[in-house]
Structure 1
């Protein structure tokens, strides 16, 4: 079998990646954001001001199913700490979640950039 080399690399500014279970989010049918109608991934992207995916300070990625399936919550995995998964209940305060994860909101100059 011939070895293949990776020829192309794509850079990102991520300090970490947050993996959000899409199946849990779908079962909740929202539950986050100001009106409680956004998925956790979308609400986190808004919380961190993510507009340009690769250039954002944090990556929020929805994955198929993580297999935990909590009731009334969404499973979240921080890539910096893959041994501890978090169950985020519907309506949770995202500022507190960001603080718990050790992540800060982006500077105002980043939020206004498009």
Structure 2
């Protein structure tokens, strides 16, 4: 008898935040108090996102989103896939995290 393979895995995420990896790499950090953090890492810290599927939301670096703004990073909130954000290093990350946070 063959072993049964799972067809899905449950996650606690309410939504996902997709961050362009190529934009982040070109910027070489640029975020955080000293400007050396990647946007995805800074957002995870501000949103209190746990690692993996156990967190309340996911912050994931994805391949190139093919927009490539100069000196900025593309971000997509899966709750609003029709609106892509351009995040510059001087952006108010506390305000951004507040907008991306899970609504109670």
TM-score (norm. length: structure 2) = 0.86
1:16-75 C-alpha deviation (Å, 9 max, x unpaired) = 100100000011100111211010011111111223321111101101100000011100
1:53 alignment partner in structure 2: 52
2:92 alignment partner in structure 1: 93
Match status 1:11 vs 2:21: no
- Please tell me the root mean square deviation across aligned C-alpha atoms, in Å: 1.7
- 1:58 and 1:34 mapped to 2: Cα distance? 23
Mapping for residues 54-69 of structure 1, pairs under 5 Å: 54-69=53-68
SS in 2 for 1:54: helix
1:90: Cα distance to partner? 1.0
Unaligned ranges ≥5, structure 2: none
Off by >4 Å, runs of 4+ in structure 1: none
Q: How many corresponding residue pairs?
A: 99
1:93: Cα distance to partner? 1.9
- 1:72 and 1:15 mapped to 2: Cα distance? 30
Unaligned ranges ≥5, structure 1: 1-5, 105-114
1:100: Cα distance to partner? 2.9
2:28 alignment partner in structure 1: 29
